[in-house]
Structure 1
Amino acid sequence: MESTLTPEQAKAFYDRFGAKQDRQGFYENPARRDLIAQADFETAAAVFEFGCGTGDFAARLLAEHLPPRCAYTAVDISDTMVRLARARLAPWRDRARADRSSGSTTLEAADGAFDRFVSTYVLDLLSDEDIRGLLAEAHRILAPGGRLCLAGLTHGAGPIASLVSGLWQAFFALRPALLGGCRPIALCGYLAPDRWRIEYRNVRTAFGISSEVVVAARLDRKAGRRE
């Protein structure tokens, strides 16, 4: 069984890490661009982001892709990250907010309140139980026709990337805190077919690091259809 960071350990790490997180863009940005191209953000009315970090991705969406009236709610466990995100989102303060979460995967949001649920490079630091709990909450707060929009570290595609992800997993097994608690996972494996219909899935590799990009439509659990 993998030993992931506790919420307290994750908060302490990212409080220290702060703005240095943006340096990871060299491998994260290609996957995020792919996600933007596939998630139809131009028609979104309300976005919820779990684990907003410095607010870089939120600011990019608000500046370039979301409609002028789209509301944006972002949460993060780190006080440092929330402070950075609030500063970055200040130009859209009338419709964008960043709040600190408790570390729980239970979300303080109403049922069906959002049409996009975004989380990039966050699920890969959660335990299996917390990933499933978060996805259940994402399903709850998404409106009929809403989309789940994810990106994160995954197992290497190709010889070099396979070697990199293998080394990453080995280091993670020894000292997960050295890697910010992140490890390669298969996002699609957590998506229950009676809750989600995968509309897009791709693996992007940059500098030997592979990332999985997933866009999935919310399904009516009972009827097994997109609402």
Structure 2
Amino acid sequence: MILTKSQVRAFYDRFGNMQDSQSFYEDAALDDLIAHADFGQAENIFELGCGTGRFASRLLTKHLSPSASYLGIDLSLSMINIAEQRISEFAGRAKVVQSDGSMSFPLHDHSVDRVICTYVLDLLSESDIQQAISEAHRVLIPGGKFCLVSLTYGETFVSRIVCAMWSTLFHIHGYLVGGCRPIRLNPLFGKLDWSIDYRNVVIQFGVPSEVLIADLKSAPN
């Protein structure tokens, strides 16, 4: 069951710092994303669903150019408060703001060279997923990269069992798994103006995550 935006906000307001406990299955996929997204060449970065700011802090500390700017948004005020503290040393070039839950990014057309979205599309409705992709298309410069990680379907015996259990809990009630369910990213980028630069499925502790980097080949009309 897809959670409503108010349900998502309420869940993650309560979840707070506990979100970082998910690092046991997320970090290997995030490592893979960093290894292939050329973040060191990026100058303007936008993150949809910044959460606690753990990934933003890692990028700002170790992987982004000192001249790079970062903007992150999140639906949860608790997450924004945590993220603000976490990236406070970069306040001159990095900020986070609370989202109203719409998929309208607070950016000008063709204004960023990286859009990041990790473990977020898997809690959105199909229409919101399509809108997020459309917005990434709008705000990226030609040659910019949409950098994604999501829960996905298992490709090994153990990961298929984990995925089946996760999906069962999701269908009982989305709250049991934070509103997230396995999805496939690759089929979402079939249009000619996207090219898949990199794709991989990373399995950590039996949890499968899809890593995908889509390049924008042309500016939107």
Give the TM bin, normalised by the shorter chain: over 0.9
- Tell me which residue corresponds to 2:197: 199
Distance 1:57-1:219 versus aligned 2 partners, 3 A rule:
same
After superposition, the C-alpha distances for 1:30-57 in whole angstroms (9 at most, x for unaligned) are 0000000000000000000000000000
2:101 partner SS: coil
Contact map agreement 1:195 1:220 (CA 8 A) in 2: yes
Match of 1:30 in 2: 28
Aligned position for 1:179: 177
What aligned pairs does 1:16-165 form with structure 2 within 5 A after superposition? 16-165=14-163
Deviations 1:171-201 (A, max 9, x none): 1011111111000000112113323100100
Matching of residue 167 in structure 1 with residue 132 in structure 2: no
CA RMSD of the aligned region, Å?
1.2
Report if the CA contact (8 A) 2:68-2:93 is conserved.
yes
Give the fraction of aligned pairs with identical amino acids, expressed as a percent: 45
Structure 1 residue matching 2:217: 3-state secondary structure: strand
Contact 2:142–2:219 (Cα < 8 Å) also in 1: no
* Partner Cα distance (1:76, 1:212) in 2: 21
SS in 2 for 1:170: helix
TM-score normalised to the size of structure 2? 0.98
Preserved CA contact (<8 Å) 2:137 2:219: no
Query: Which ranges in structure 2 are unaligned for 5 or more consecutive residues?
Result: none
Corresponding position: 1:217 with 2:192: no
2:137 and 2:220 in contact (8 A); partners too: no
Write out per-residue CA displacement over residues 95-138 of structure 1, whole angstroms, 9 at most, x where no aligned residue. 00000000001111100110000010000000111101000000
TM-score between both structures, scaled by the size of structure 1: 0.95
Partner-residue secondary structure (3-state), 2:191: coil
Q: Tell me by how many angstroms 1:219 deviates.
A: 2.1
CA distance in 2, matches of 1:115, 1:221: 12
Letter in 2 for 1:71: S
SS in 2 for 1:109: coil
Structure 2 contact 138–220 (Cα < 8 Å) conserved: no
> Per the alignment, in what secondary structure is the counterpart of residue 69 of structure 1?
coil
Query: Is the CA contact (8 Å cut-off) linking 1:31 and 1:213 kept in structure 2?
Result: yes
Offset of residue 73 of structure 1:
0.3
Asked if structure 2 preserves the Cα contact closer than 8 Å seen for 1:74 and 1:98, the reply is yes
Residue 89 of structure 1, CA deviation: 0.6
Counterpart Cα distance in 2 of 1:116 and 1:222: 16
Cα separation, 1, equivalents of 2:220 and 2:124: 28
Question: What is the CA–CA distance in structure 2 between the aligned matches of 1:82 and 1:192, rounded to whole Å?
Answer: 33
**Structure 1 residues 222 and 131, CA gap change in structure 2 (3 angstroms):** closer
Q: Structure 1: give runs of 5+ residues left out of the alignment.
A: none
| Contact 1:44/1:66, CA 8 A, preserved across alignment | yes
1:129-171 superposed Cα distances (whole Å, 9 cap, x missing partner):
1101000000100011100100010001100100110111111
Give 4+ residue runs of structure 1 displaced > 3 Å after superposition.
none
**What letter is aligned with 1:94?**
G
- Equivalent residues in 2 for 1:1-12 (5 A)? 3-12=1-10
Q: Give the SS at the match of 1:220.
A: coil
